[in-house]
């Protein structure tokens, strides 16, 4: 078995966007908006976690190739009872970056959960309403040739 050999594949500009949601209690969302989370700003820390984890995907998923990323952009939408995270990754490589985007968004959501879990626990220490959901690849794209550099879609 082993890793897929991509030696003969051409280097292309590639990008992917992954997204996902974490469902939280409205009271937790209010505390986030008010800046009263004990560990600091969950969105700021989650952005750093997403960037770091996207860059380390090859260490986490055994068959992923090590890819030098050109950019990792993370954004959040805070709603009444959930936060949606998006992770946009770009590179110039022989293989795609959708796994890096998925790992990035997953770790962003995990980081948010870690930072607010003390607010989400019930009296038994459980998380009856907290969940991560809808983790998906929204877009994956590869662009051939130097003429296309800089013409890819922005998120």
> Of residues 5, 41, 114, 122, which has the active-site annotation?
114
Checking phi first, is residue 107 left (phi over 0); if not, alpha (psi -120 to 50) or beta? alpha
Total domain count, the chain: 1
Q: Does residue 44 belong to any structural domain of this protein? A: yes
CATH of the domain at 123: 3.30.70.640
Q: Does residue 6 belong to any structural domain of this protein? A: no
Q: Does residue 101 belong to any structural domain of this protein? A: yes
Q: Does residue 134 belong to any structural domain of this protein? A: yes
By C-alpha distance, which of 146, 140, 135, 130 is closest to 25? 130
Q: Does residue 2 belong to any structural domain of this protein? A: no
Report how far residue 105's alpha carbon sits from residue 112's, in angstroms, rounded to the nearest whole number.
11
- pLDDT for residue 146: 55
User: Edge to edge, what strands does the sheet with 69-78 contain?
Assistant: 69-78, 82-93, 12-23, 131-143
Q: Does residue 75 belong to any structural domain of this protein? A: yes
Q: Does residue 127 belong to any structural domain of this protein? A: yes
Range of the domain at 33: 12-144
Confirm whether 70 is a catalytic residue: no
User: pLDDT tens, position by position, for the chain (155 residues)?
Assistant: 788 999 888 999 999 999 999 999 999 999 999 999 999 999 999 999 999 999 999 999 999 999 999 999 999 999 999 999 999 999 999 988 999 999 999 999 999 999 999 999 999 999 999 999 999 999 999 988 654 444 444 44
Q: Does residue 152 belong to any structural domain of this protein? A: no
* DSSP helix/strand/coil, 20: strand
């Amino acid at each position: 078995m082993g890793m897929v050999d991509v030696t003969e594949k051409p280097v292309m500009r590639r990008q992917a966007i992954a997204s996902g949601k974490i469902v939280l209690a409205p009271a937790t969302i209010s505390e986030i908006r008010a800046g009263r989370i004990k560990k600091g700003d969950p969105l700021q820390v989650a952005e750093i976690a997403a960037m770091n984890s996207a860059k380390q995907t090859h260490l986490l998923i055994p068959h992923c190739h090590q890819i030098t990323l050109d950019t990792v952009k993370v954004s959040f939408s805070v709603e009444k009872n959930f936060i949606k995270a998006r992770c946009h990754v770009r590179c110039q490589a022989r293989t795609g970056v959708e796994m890096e985007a998925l790992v990035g968004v997953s770790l962003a959501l995990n980081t948010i959960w870690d930072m607010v879990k003390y607010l989400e626990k019930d009296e038994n220490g459980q998380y009856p309403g907290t969940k991560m959901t809808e983790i998906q690849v929204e877009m994956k794209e590869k662009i051939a040739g130097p003429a296309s550099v800089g013409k890819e879609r922005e998120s």
